[in-house]
């Protein structure tokens, strides 16, 4: 069994309030993707909304949910941005 990898997670705006924290550390199995990270966080922070209403950023770049994470990565979960017209 390969060793778990540590990632740093961050929450912003409404997700930060729902999680009750702005950041944390998480250990996930090797080859986990961003969605695996989010689903693990939803088990920890039950108020987090389903993946459909969230966007993910990996090391400050928007990514698809299938993007694989590596040790030391920063994974941020963010709501749709502010809008206006």
Partner 1 sequence: MRYDVTLDRIDARELEAVVLHPGAGAICTFSGIVRDNSRGLAVTHLDYEAYAEMAVPQMRKIGEEIKQRWPEARVAMAHRTGHLEIGEVSVVVSVSCPHRAEAFEACRWGIDRLKESVPIWKKEHAADGTYWIEGEEAKPV
Q: Does 9 bind partner 1 (CB under 8 A)?
A: no
Out of 28, 69, 75, 76, name the contact with partner 1 by CB under 8 A: 76
User: 29 vs 52, which CB is nearer to partner 1?
Assistant: 52
Out of 5, 12, 35, 73, name the contact with partner 1 by CB under 8 A: 12
Q: Does 17 bind partner 1 (CB under 8 A)?
A: yes
Query: What three-state secondary structure class fits 29?
Result: coil
User: What secondary structure, in 3-state letters, does 38-79 show?
Assistant: HHHHHHHCCCCCCHHHCEEEECCEEECCCCECCCCCEEEEEC
């Amino acid at each position: 069994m390969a060793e778990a990898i540590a990632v740093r997670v961050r929450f912003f705006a409404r997700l930060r309030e729902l999680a009750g924290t702005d950041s944390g550390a998480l250990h996930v199995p090797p080859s986990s993707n961003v969605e695996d990270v989010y689903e693990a966080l939803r088990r920890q922070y039950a108020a987090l909304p389903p993946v459909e209403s969230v966007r993910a950023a990996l090391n400050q770049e928007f990514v698809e949910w299938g993007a694989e994470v590596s040790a030391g990565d920063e994974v941020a979960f963010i709501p749709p941005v502010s809008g206006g017209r």
